[in-house]
Chains A and B, each alone.
Chain A
């Protein structure tokens, strides 16, 4: 089922949580709403679900207007960050709930419900847990029950609100791979909210990056990572270093260095370079080599994070090298090296001088 969001606006008191959101989600897609806290991503998800009402705008499911439909009639599966399992019911009853509360005419028979619940328990790999209570399960197991419960009603749309936010890193990784497989199997249109860019990139077909109630960019994970449309997206997806300076005739002048910035307009601009897009050398080779002093070296598994201070502007830079590269360089703390960006993206400052 496709979702179309048209000009949705939401206020909390005088605070505008969502500003004219327009978004189209195709049938069978898995879309991530990604953004920092307070960006409005959860509000948008809750408006799609019908748990909250938008002040303005429309929500269409399969081109049918669902804007004012009550959540119970929308047939959406909603998975909450804190699971929201029914504490007083067994796992079996939790999953069966959505079927049991149907009006008598559409309610499946007891045997059919039991069969369906058993299938779902197998799907979430919790066959042996049907008589337990939610409090007897671990966080990851609870979230799987919550997913099974949402899937039991065969929803048109599956909505997940930071589904793995409360879990530890390893379980989180496992579950998101599993969610992806589940989605490929069921092909139900899914939208999930996350603040974790890695999670969004890993799982989603398309990523919607939100900030301060607005959509900053929509695209596949590759598109948004490789071609960020604005400084916010660049900064949000991975760590970056900023080179403040002036663009003149296709060159960004920052400190004593001159970097090529083809196609950029003249004026105050900032160069963005991802931490892993640097070359460290012992001798200056180009005009964009920046003399720097090594401040710190941290080894994090296969990656070495090096903090340097630029000698011209005294600004710090963070650089990530693969361990092998680092070992070949034979550098150590306090040494003077030359740092060169491999890939640079220049954005002309909107608010020059700040």
Chain B
């Protein structure tokens, strides 16, 4: 495969649409996870309530559940007449929104499990010091706790994003896989492989690899930069 063929393969409109869909849905899901993962971790570390340990265990469910099972279940729930889907006036399953929901589901544990131990280990004295100096809870969270969490949130975000980008099993069920609309890049790679177009599949995969690398690299630099401030070197 020459450069021209390579370029033609990776700039094919259907492939471009799939890149856009894959990266946008993965990023959106990672953002949602970063917010709600921190919330869940916060509740799990700071509050006592009945059934806390069960909820804590449930966080890992997406890790254990086969992705196909997750995909089929989510599709059933969110289809227009499913348990949850029936309450929405717009379609969720078989649209990008459905893809995002599946990606949120499989990526959530990464953020929770990254942030939780950091929250548990934050020195209580720092919060108490902040309060004794006259800061309210909000100021303490924004100025003291949140900066401590940034590295963990970034890592959780990166992991969640990386996982979402490569996710295949659950998405193919809920996406509907309509070209230009709900067809993700991993599916294009899969389709090309099934047609014995190994070179085409490799080309699409290579582009994904490069973009992912750039994004993860940027996140790592951010992490290094935030981490450097505390290490004192």
Contact = CB atoms under 8 A, between A and B. Distances in A.
Interface of A: 49-51, 70-78, 80, 82-88, 97-98, 101-102, 132-136, 146, 149-150, 152-153
B230 A133 contact: yes
B232 A102 contact: no
B202 to A, nearest CB: 44
A282 B153 CA distance: 76
Interface stretch (B13-21, B95-103, B121-129): B121-129
B138 to A, nearest CB: 10
A78 B232 contact: no
Interface residues of B, number: 21
Interface string B135-155: 110010001100110000000
Nearest to A49: B132
B124 to A, nearest CB: 8
Contacts of B134: 72-73, 75, 98, 101-102, 153
Q: Which of B125, B136, B230 has its CB near the most chain A CB atoms (within 10 A)?
A: B125
Contacts of A77: 132
Given A98-B134, A101-B135, A101-B139, A135 B128 contact: no
A332 to B, nearest CB: 52
Contacts of A146: 129
B178 interface: no
A78 B128 contact: yes
Contact of A78 (B123, B129, B139, B231): B129
A101 B143 contact: yes
A84 B129 contact: yes
B130 interface: yes
A88 B230 contact: yes
A74 B128 CA distance: 13
Contacts of B128: 51, 71, 78, 80, 84
A88 B232 contact: no
Given A72-B134, A80-B125, A97-B130, A133 B229 contact: yes
B131 interface: yes
A133 B135 CA distance: 21
B54 interface: no
Given A82-B125, A84-B123, A84-B125, A135 B132 contact: no
Contact of A149 (B133, B135, B143): B133
A74 B143 CA distance: 21
8 contacts: A51-B131, A70-B131, A72-B133, A83-B125, A87-B230, A88-B230, A150-B133, A152-B133
Contacts of B231: 135
Nearest to B127: A84
Nearest to B126: A84
A74 B130 CA distance: 13
B229 A72 contact: no
Q: Top 10 A-B pairs ranked by shortest CB distance?
A: A84-B125, A135-B232, A98-B133, A88-B147, A101-B135, A78-B132, A136-B232, A84-B129, A80-B125, A71-B131
